[in-house]
Amino acid sequence: MKKFGLIGKNISYSFSRKFFQEKFNQLQIDATYENFDLQHIEELKLVLQKNKSLNGLNVTIPYKESILPFLDELSPEAQQIQAVNTIKISNNQLIGYNTDAFGFMKSLFPILEKQHTHALILGTGGASKAVANALKSMGIEYRFVSRNSQQQDLAYADLDETIIQEHQLIINCTPVGTHPKVKESPALPYQFLESSHLLYDLVYNPPITEFLAKGKIRGCSIYNGKKMLEYQAERAWQIWNE
């Protein structure tokens, strides 16, 4: 029996377990998928010791970057992004991949319009690095937004009408607004949003976050991260079976 799982923190809500269990049933594959809810990334060592039959892992918030020292090898894309969300385990070697960039790009491409040439990326974690990598490959300029601006990054307090108007694509790569804290939203000046803006939230639970709801009120196009998750999960499955 093959065994797979998800590494993360407070992940009972996660989409991955249900997705892969349904896939195993559909394909009639003798495999299991387990959530490994870790309070600290160092607990990964114990997970690996207790589950020597593991074939692959997904990695989610907040460990996409901190897991790097535990890996034996990185794919070229993961090396470039410096964040991992998929691990293939082969001959006791842990090989890190990033399928987030692929999933994000594939989900974003059909909904882009001509004005979406400049983006704001909310957050600076592992997911935001994958999004930045995807935007760069698509020729879309971007700036990061964080609570405390560093170097070329913006702070939320820096955002004004001019910046919002110059960036018609805004992507939330933070966990803000995820269930159960569904009333929270990134600290944007939402009053400056217009119908030409596209708001993309990597959060998918709830389907319409407070961030997206505030954009919808302003007439913006809105999109959540469900399709991205499906695409990145399918790519992870391919990697595990290569």
Q: Where in the sequence numbering do the catalytic residues fall? A: 64
Domain boundary among 76, 98, 120: 98
> What total of structural domains would you count in the chain?
2
CA 155-157-158 angle, to 5 degrees, is: 70
100, 85 Cβ separation under 8 angstroms: yes
Measured distance CA(185)–CA(165) in Å, rounded: 19
pLDDT value, residue 88: 98
Domain boundary among 70, 98, 126: 98
Domain boundary among 67, 82, 98: 98
Residue 31 lies in a domain: yes
CATH number of the CATH domain containing 108:
3.40.50.720
Q: Which residues pair with 215 in a beta bridge?
A: none
Does residue 4 register a pLDDT over 80? yes
90 and 121 inside one domain: no
Measured distance CA(141)–CA(148) in Å, rounded: 21
Residue 236 lies in a domain: no
CATH number of the CATH domain containing 54:
3.40.50.10860
139 and 89 inside one domain: no
Does residue 147 register a pLDDT over 80? yes
Mean pLDDT of the chain: 95
Domain with 153 in it: 102-228
126 and 93 inside one domain: no
Q: Quote the tokens at residue 63.
A: 């460990």
What is the reported pTM? 0.93
Q: Quote the tokens at residue 220.
A: 């913006």
107 and 208 inside one domain: yes
